[in-house]
Amino acid sequence: MTELSYDAEHEIILITSSELPHDEDFELWATLFLHAPAITTADFDAGADRHQLRFHFTDHSFNLNFEHYSESIWINAEGIEASAVLPQLYQYLVMQLQ
């Protein structure tokens, strides 16, 4: 089960999953998680301890991040305009999970 929470103070969407993806599976997990009509995925970057999938929602850019060591998954906005859309993205993703 996957749950989302919006953290307005830190301007992130925190993703809590009952089963975290393995490092080598994150790109596939992220692609499936973001598979929705209003979202387009862009590029993927894999690092030693952190992976990131860049995507677009309503013509704004966001990042889906996974940090292996802290076992954290979150979404952050790229820029001030995208930050203003973050609550709308949160609501959209919650509806997609239902």
Mean pLDDT, the chain, as a whole number? 95
**C-beta separation of 18 from 1 below 8 A:** yes
**C-beta separation of 69 from 49 below 8 A:** yes
CA 69 to chain CA centroid, nearest Å: 17
Instruction: Measure the CA–CA gap between 9 and 98, rounded to whole angstroms.
Output: 25
Q: For residue 23, is it left (φ>0), alpha (ψ between -120 and 50) or beta?
A: alpha
Q: Quick: pLDDT tens for 21-62.
A: 888 899 999 999 999 999 999 999 998 889 999 999 999 999
Query: Does the pLDDT value for residue 68 go beyond 90?
Result: no
Cα distances (angstroms) measured from residue 39 to each of 27, 53, 76, 96: 15, 12, 14, 11
Q: Considering the entire predicted model, what is its pTM?
A: 0.94
